[in-house]
Amino acid sequence: MSLEKVRKINGRSVYVPGNDIDTDRIIPARFMKCVTFDGLGEYLFYDVRKDSDGNDKDHPLNETRFSDASVLISNANFGCGSSREHAPQALYRYGFRAVIAESFAEIFFGNCCALGMPCVAATQESVKSLAELINEVPETEVSIDVINSTVRAGDLNFSVDIPTGAKEALTNGRWDPIAELQEAKESIDHLVTDLGYLKRG
């Protein structure tokens, strides 16, 4: 079973400013009482997007000009705090397929990679230039080249950082560890037989 090879992500983007945006801000804990992740996108950034009556507040994700964004842009230490898997799941269910930020919390980064959603780290200057461009021309398409570790948007073209292991997993379609185990079922069965002392359930 071969997964999609994530080599390039193209799409419109939105800038959600802030350092140390933690997973509780991305998806508040009270919305995690779910059996599946399917509806989590509705509650993405809920407490900073909605008031106590559920009405929209001033937030980039509430602006219609960014309604088609599939690339999220932010600042340093994005996804810090709790290691909850629900945060990247909420981003993915909302419609995001990649994140560009100055840096990422390690576990959040890994959880995003396991969804086939690349997180690429850019310099503060590059993020600032990209955010300014997107705010001026929201329809600008952002292209993330995972193989070559670059981002292009309009006249901007800059390098980004993505760890070698994550890059190889994404670009070779090996980013889902559960799918990897399922694909290796026959090899695992052979190993259990060869070891001899393990009993099948």
**DSSP code string of 17-54:** --SS-BHHHHS-GGG---SSSTTGGGGTTHHHHB-TTS
Q: At 76, which CATH number?
A: 3.20.19.10
pLDDT digits (tens, 9 = 90+) for 129-165: 999 999 999 999 999 999 999 999 999 999 999 999 9
- Residues 6 or more apart whose Cβ sits within 8 Å of residue 113: 119, 166, 169, 170, 175
The structural domain count of the chain equals: 1
How far apart CA 32 and CA 43 sit, in angstroms, is 10
pLDDT digits (tens, 9 = 90+) for 78-128: 999 988 899 999 999 999 999 999 999 999 999 999 999 999 999 999 999
- In the predicted model, what is the mean pLDDT of residues 55-65? 97
Residue at 198 is within a domain: no
pLDDT at residue 195 above 90?
no
Residue at 201 is within a domain: no
Domain of 51 in residue numbering reads as 8-175
Residue at 66 is within a domain: yes
Query: Of 42, 49, 9, 1, nearest to 25 (Cα)?
Result: 49
The neighbour count for residue 146, using CB atoms within 10 Å, is 20
